[in-house]
Chains A and B, each alone.
Chain A
Amino acid sequence: METVKAKVREFLRGYIADHEFADDEDIFASGYANSLFVMQLIYMVEREFQITVGDEDLEFDNFRSIDAVARLVTAKSAVPAGT
């Protein structure tokens, strides 16, 4: 979980240089997130953690904060391959 959070933090720092997000801070409410940001975040999560974000994962609560992304990745990583 901490590894995932660190990666998401690193991504956010690279994308939004002038703001340090708290783990539970609402990224969408901050006004920083646009469509390109969300797309890149999904690409990053898929590539770094070898998961596929699908239709069923498209819930704002899954991407709302560093904590939320970490929960999504952890949950999807726990699913056995092939299911």
Chain B
Amino acid sequence: MRAGVHSLTDVQNKILQSHRRFAEDEIAPHANAWDREGRVPREVVAAMGAAGHLGALIPAEYGGTELDMTEFGLLNEAIGFGCSSVRSVLTVHSMVSQAVTRWGNPEQRRAWLPGLATGEQVGAFALSEAEAGSDVAQITTVAENDGDGYLLSGTKRWITYGQGADVFLVFARHNGRHSAFVAGRDTPGLTVVPIDGMLGTRASMLAEVRFDNCRVPRSALLGRPGFGLAPIAAAALDVGRYSVAWGSVGLAQSCLELSLGHARERRAFGGPVFDHQLVQRLITDMATGVSAARLLCLQAGELVQGGAPTAVAAVWMAKYFASTSAFRAASDTVQIHGAYGCDPDGSPQRLFRDAKVMEIIEGSTQIQQTMIARLVPYEEKRP
């Protein structure tokens, strides 16, 4: 049993270890190099597809693996352990997959899901804009009726895996409300401009996605007009937060294992660094944080799987705790490693930068604090 995984049942632990083997073989050894290069090779995304990971939230009838939410969480922990950039690709792809599965009509599901399930088509979630991050209702991208289709105009920013994605789930103002559209990368008028050198998850291939009178057919409208933000974007972001929460557990687990290894090997003042009580305190906080975060994620997973309204608050709490805990773990990992922790070729500095991003994406720490506070009264009133 690995350090800190005692919160899992034997079955859950076996599932996690199975996904960990994939992450340790295919992802973790290359994470630092991909971070430096600022890209995840398409072959790795293809390997994720071949392993069934990209079809995790897609029904079997469309070629997906249709994981339950706990196993999907464990998959995200394992991939997050290996590389947060790859986990980010899994996150946004799963958000798009969930949206098409849940809100697509039969024709749309048949058109998009088989390709998304295998990874032949990789999805990206095009919501954020320069002036619309947490306050998504402020988006200025517009969709106008154009015969039997729509014209999309506007610019999306910081779109995870925008550089590599084949399919974009785009949100736009439409007749005074917000609607969601599915647009293929090769749609005329759609341009992708790479964004490189971000603080963390540098290999997640962010992009600015521009829509210049980009014409999509009527069949591109996902769900009914006006329901783009609620429930389509809201439900997809819920999946994203759940994925990031579990990915943060994986990141923190990576910090814990790295820190334990270094503290046991590195000697100072006549013995291993681990023997120093101040270092033990850092390790203890890290291990406790990982276990507590994993338990919150497990609880959230059970509630999401059961469709409970309380799942929304549980996911917010899991993401809030896991991401802030992961950042503390990453900071302490750099500290325990000393100069090695700051080395550009080492993992600690990458984990530190990636962990900060976990506190920003899919709802910043401050937004979560506000939302959880608002949701608490509902929790208290339940019989």
Contact = CB atoms under 8 A, between A and B. Distances in A.
B307 A43 contact: yes
Contacts of B224: 55, 58-59
Contacts of B378: 14-15
A30 interface: no
Mostly, the A contact residues are helix
A35 interface: yes
B223 A35 contact: no
B: contact size bracket: 20 to 34
A15 B310 CA distance: 11
Interface residues of A, number: 24
Contact of A17 (B136, B234, B377): B377
A14 B377 contact: yes
Contacts of B362: none
B229 interface: yes
Contacts of B136: 35
Mostly, the B contact residues are helix
Contacts of B234: 35-36, 38-39
A19 interface: no
Given A43-B307, A43-B308, A43-B309, A35 B233 contact: yes
A37 B308 CA distance: 13
Contact of A36 (B103, B223, B371): B371
A39 B235 contact: yes
A11 interface: yes
B185 to A, nearest CB: 24
A58 B103 contact: yes
B105 interface: yes
A61 B382 CA distance: 28
B381 A13 contact: yes
Contacts of B147: none
A14 B381 contact: yes
B231 A60 contact: no
Interface string A2-29: 0000000001011101000000000000
A60 B378 CA distance: 24
B270 interface: no
B348 interface: no
10 contacts: A11-B309, A14-B378, A34-B230, A35-B136, A35-B229, A39-B231, A43-B309, A47-B309, A55-B224, A58-B227
Interface of B: 103-105, 136, 222-224, 226-227, 229-231, 233-235, 238, 306-309, 311-312, 371, 377-378, 381-382
Interface of A: 11, 13-15, 17, 34-44, 46-47, 54-56, 58-60
